[in-house]
Amino acid sequence: MQLRQGLRVLRRAADEVQVGLDPRWAVRVAGLSTERADRLLRAGDRRVDDALPAPALDALGAAGLLRPAGSRPRRVRPDLRPEVLAHGLAREDGDGVGAVRRRARSTVAVVGLGRPGVVVAGTLAVAGVGTLVLVDPRPPGPGLPAAAAGGAARAGADDGARTPDRATAVAGSLRGVAPGARVRTAPGPGGLLTDPHDVVVTVATDAPDPATALTLLGADVPHLPVVTREADALVGPFVRPARPGDDPLCCLRCLDLQRAAADPAWPVVLAQLVGPRPGDAVAEPPAALAAVAGGLAAAEVLAHLDGGEPRTLGAQYEIPVPSVAPRLRRWAAHPECGCAAPGA
């Protein structure tokens, strides 16, 4: 047997070694001779089963820190090693390489490239998602992060003097930071249904567009809304086609039906939130809120692509300024929505 990859191995005493730092799996291996403690500290990819006494191997095995010796490490791009190592340790099956390879075969669209959308797209590209489709016809605005503004300058240089739209600008910056990702742009969310997408992330101000959500729901496309408001952000619910054995899970329309039940004026308010904003100001969230909301949204998408369960299935992260500490709020499916009906 060998130690799993990505573990820190540390000396605690002459006869004691600690394997792992994360309290989910870290173990202390005590009662070793100095020579055996040294061998464990230098184990790397070498076998440990002929170097350690049975109780030490039992402790490492019980903590899930061993893998069969001699299994050839599977090759991945060096820039994806952080994903492989951390996800390999955290996953039950230990297969970080398999998870990253699934990401490479995946296509994710990001609709709305303000600050949080740029964080979502950039994080997914760097985390190994194979194809990103970017949708935002607006011109690059002053709220766009510096990296994307650099992309705008490059895209503009490629395209003569014409100012590129925001999707083209962000695509230019992503090709710089994640050369392994295929990045293309699409004119609008309607065009997303012509090609298969594994997930569509919609990023909006004030409220997600119910029409887009309904279109994606009707087409069985997994989707995740991100919304920023005056001083908070909402991420979720993650909506995907129901699987056998699922409890009924809410969709965006379920949330609107529940809000309307609690506040009869909600449809009137919602119509204003998704319509044109007064004046021409497009509110961008503060930087730390955009980073946290965008990062959480990207993690939800990756959980789905990696074969896991996003935490916002049937729930929503609420992220308030100034702490930007997320709170997970659960929402039930609304009985009149029909989205979670058997066979839906």
Binding region for Zn ion (CB under 5 A): 251, 253-254, 337, 339
Contact 117, 226 (CB under 8 A): yes
Closest CA to 103 of 74, 117, 78, 83: 83
Determine the Cα angle at 148 with ends 147 and 154, to 5°.
Answer: 95
Comparing CB distances to Zn ion, the nearer of 66 and 219 is 219
Residues in the chain: 344
Nearest distance in Å: CB 335, Zn ion = 10
Specify the residue, 199 or 254, whose C-beta has the smaller distance to Zn ion. 254
- Least distance from Zn ion to the Cβ atom of residue 211, Å: 15
Output the smallest distance, CB 341 to Zn ion, in A.
9
Question: Is there a cis peptide before residue 237, judged by omega within 30 degrees of 0?
Answer: yes
Q: How far is the CB of 241 from Zn ion (least distance, A)?
A: 12
In whole angstroms, the minimum distance from the beta carbon of 224 to Zn ion comes to 15
**Whether the Cβ atoms of residue 177 and residue 122 lie closer than 8 Å to each other:** yes
Tokens of 167: 């999707």
Q: How far is the CB of 315 from Zn ion (least distance, A)?
A: 14
* CB 336 to Zn ion: min, Å: 9
Structural tokens at position 109? 């669209």
Start-to-end CA distance of the chain, whole Å, equals 48
CB nearer to Zn ion: pick between 43 and 254:
254
Nearest to 300 by CA among 308, 315, 310: 310
Question: Between 239 and 299, whose beta carbon lies closer to Zn ion?
Answer: 239
CB of 205 to Zn ion, least distance (A): 23
Q: Which is nearer to Zn ion, 115 or 253 (CB)?
A: 253
Phi, then psi, of 13 in degrees rounded to 5: -160, 175
Smallest separation, CB 164 to Zn ion (Å)? 37
